[in-house]
Chain A
């Protein structure tokens, strides 16, 4: 089914390694000079969403599974990190691990239910389950309901680095996001990743070749959920806040938009998409509900005329892999 999902980003790679390495170097350089040009908080926000979108892309871009419920993992990891850091006084690295563990557990549960159906049913199931967990977050005591968990301490990383310092926090976020990015790149280029792409291209054939397709899908789902959780945990520390916004279905829509706009199944697309969407939300905030209208319009345009996304189009024009 999913050949249409892969806008052939990798087809033109004459020397795929070189274009990717150059793009990666440019990206790292931009992250390094970023805080001297614009607000670190804006950048950290966009970086968290970059990781979120990359984790999401692992599933939709490389396995062809469209989840409409990824806010579930992002939001619940941020709750768990915020709660353990604030109420239990865990150090930031342990609080993040706790958030990721929660996201992984949720990923196993949601993933094993959702992979029982294909295609658009998969999207509806993940959406419904994430809405269920949204209601739990609304009613549960520890999440603070409408108020969320506020005033989360950033703490000292490994007892050494004081994260309340903005630049230290920024450096930490960059390192974690780059590590997550490289891990995802490693996954999609491993033998495991090749099987995932085979499932995307032709699930029946992958089954007939003897691959336990459901198990591969579940592992990919859990990996994607866990890394989404890492992004959510980071965001909780950056903003010192975990709130209902992060578990709401609109967040799942946002990450979908970022990935689609940047380019489904491209390596750098989700990062570009995340920066564009976060910038849009930040600078259009004074226009209130028009943000919603514009986001919706971008969705429509992407689907009708621009299915490769920004990075996919650039890769096609330059005839390189990105």
Chain B
């Protein structure tokens, strides 16, 4: 046990860890937003609601089908992602020729509907979800105590973020995707089914949000409003990072989680607002965002 800047190491590293955990969720969610924005050119306001649906899917799968955490980690994103594809086919595909603002309004409406339905069914209080037995406990690293589950969340989100980046920037499928973003008409002329690709991309972005929801379920309580406040912070993260680059969204997410964690140590009153203040500063200095291209 030692002190850094007069703060016990336990507290400092503990908050850093919490910051990294939050950062993992910021990274996963802003990654999903960036993927969706890149392909559909809309901001998915329902992202927070879909994250909440992922957490509830894990809870319900356990409650009614006895499916454990590991099963939910696979099934929940698939189910919620499939719902995402249905949403794209039913609603979003009709907005392609309109101002992107309408996509924001529509997904905002969807978020209200989803949150309202879950609140009706489960009330506002949270439902607990157990950490899976294999990841219970933790280890003492000497300077801090590291719970196994939290280490798992950080590791998994790094792997998922990297895999997504690799799939989009380094594979053939990803190159189709990027080409379709640049010029959908031309890519269609090459015989690639662009509308199907758009629907699958949206489904994938939604599945990322649901995966984050499953991962969050054992840490935060599973509650209907868990997504709506988070999504606003993620919007600020996206404004800071700029949505031009996948890697930028991920790095900004992790970095801001850490900054928030440190603020909790040194100036707790500002921990809720520090990301918004940073957003204001970035807008003054670099309006396009840290990784953004000037639109």
Residues on A facing B (Cβ under 8 Å): 1-2, 4-5, 66, 113-114, 116-121, 123-125, 127-129, 131-132, 135-136, 139, 249, 253, 256, 260, 288-300, 302-304, 307
Q: Which 6 A-B pairs have the closest CB atoms?
A: A299-B109, A296-B112, A292-B116, A296-B113, A132-B276, A293-B116
The secondary structure that dominates the A interface is: helix
Indicate if the CB atoms of A66 and B106 lie closer than 8 Å: no
Indicate if the CB atoms of B104 and A66 lie closer than 8 Å: yes
Instruction: Digitize B114-154: 1 where CB-to-A-CB distance is under 8 Å, 0 elsewhere.
Output: 11110110000000000000000000000000000000000
- The 25 listed contacts between A and B (C-beta, < 8 Å) are A5-B99, A5-B101, A117-B239, A119-B295, A120-B43, A120-B100, A124-B239, A125-B239, A125-B283, A128-B279, A132-B273, A135-B272, A139-B269, A249-B232, A291-B116, A292-B113, A293-B120, A294-B116, A295-B116, A296-B108, A296-B109, A296-B110, A296-B116, A304-B91, A304-B94
Taking the nearest CB of chain B, how far is it from the CB of A277, in angstroms? 13
Residues of A within 8 A of B94 (CB): 304
How many interface contacts (CB-CB < 8 Å) are there between A and B? Answer: 128
Taking the nearest CB of chain A, how far is it from the CB of B32, in angstroms? 15
- What residue of chain B has the Cβ atom nearest to residue A138's Cβ? B272
Indicate if the CB atoms of B117 and A293 lie closer than 8 Å: yes
- What residue of chain A has the Cβ atom nearest to residue B276's Cβ? A132
Indicate if the CB atoms of A117 and B283 lie closer than 8 Å: yes
Indicate if the CB atoms of A2 and B279 lie closer than 8 Å: no
Q: How large is the interface on B (under 10, 10 to 19, 20 to 34, 35 or more residues)?
A: 35 or more
Taking the nearest CB of chain B, how far is it from the CB of A304, in angstroms? 6
Indicate if the CB atoms of A129 and B99 lie closer than 8 Å: no
- What residue of chain B has the Cβ atom nearest to residue A132's Cβ? B276
- What residue of chain B has the Cβ atom nearest to residue A125's Cβ? B239
Indicate if the CB atoms of A300 and B117 lie closer than 8 Å: no
Indicate if the CB atoms of A295 and B104 lie closer than 8 Å: no
| Given the contacts A4-B99, A129-B276, A136-B273, A253 and B108 also touching, CB distance less than 8 Å | yes
Indicate if the CB atoms of A2 and B99 lie closer than 8 Å: yes
Beyond contacts A131-B276, A296-B110: 11 other A-B pairs, Cβ-Cβ < 8 A, are A66-B104, A116-B283, A120-B43, A125-B239, A129-B279, A132-B273, A139-B272, A289-B120, A292-B112, A293-B112, A296-B114
Query: Could you say which of A113, A123, A297 contacts B283, with CB atoms under 8 Å apart?
Result: A113
Residues of A within 8 A of B98 (CB): 4, 307
Query: Could you say which of A66, A131, A292 contacts B119, with CB atoms under 8 Å apart?
Result: A292
| Given the contacts A253-B108, A256-B105, A303-B106, A119 and B239 also touching, CB distance less than 8 Å | no
Indicate if the CB atoms of B101 and A135 lie closer than 8 Å: no
Complexed CA–CA distance, A291 and B102 (Å): 22
Complexed CA–CA distance, A307 and B113 (Å): 19
Complexed CA–CA distance, A98 and B164 (Å): 51
Within 8 A of A (CB), among B74-103: 91, 94-95, 98-102
Within 8 A of A (CB), among B43-96: 43, 91, 94-95
Residues of A within 8 A of B105 (CB): 256, 260, 299, 302-303
Interface residue B287 (Cβ < 8 Å from any Cβ of A) = yes
Within 8 A of A (CB), among B280-295: 280, 283-284, 287-288, 295
Interface residue B209 (Cβ < 8 Å from any Cβ of A) = no
Taking the nearest CB of chain A, how far is it from the CB of B68, in angstroms? 30
| Given the contacts A66-B104, A256-B105, A260-B105, A135 and B120 also touching, CB distance less than 8 Å | no
Interface residue B238 (Cβ < 8 Å from any Cβ of A) = yes
Q: Which of B109, B233, B287 has the most CB of A within 10 A?
A: B109
Complexed CA–CA distance, A89 and B224 (Å): 42
Indicate if the CB atoms of B104 and A120 lie closer than 8 Å: yes
- What residue of chain A has the Cβ atom nearest to residue B224's Cβ? A289
| Given the contacts A123-B104, A300-B106, A303-B95, A289 and B276 also touching, CB distance less than 8 Å | no
Residues of B within 8 A of A288 (CB): 120
Indicate if the CB atoms of B101 and A120 lie closer than 8 Å: yes
Complexed CA–CA distance, A192 and B160 (Å): 51
Complexed CA–CA distance, A119 and B116 (Å): 28
Interface residue B29 (Cβ < 8 Å from any Cβ of A) = no
Residues of B within 8 A of A303 (CB): 95, 102, 105-106, 109
Query: Could you say which of A66, A118, A129, A296 contacts B280, with CB atoms under 8 Å apart?
Result: A129
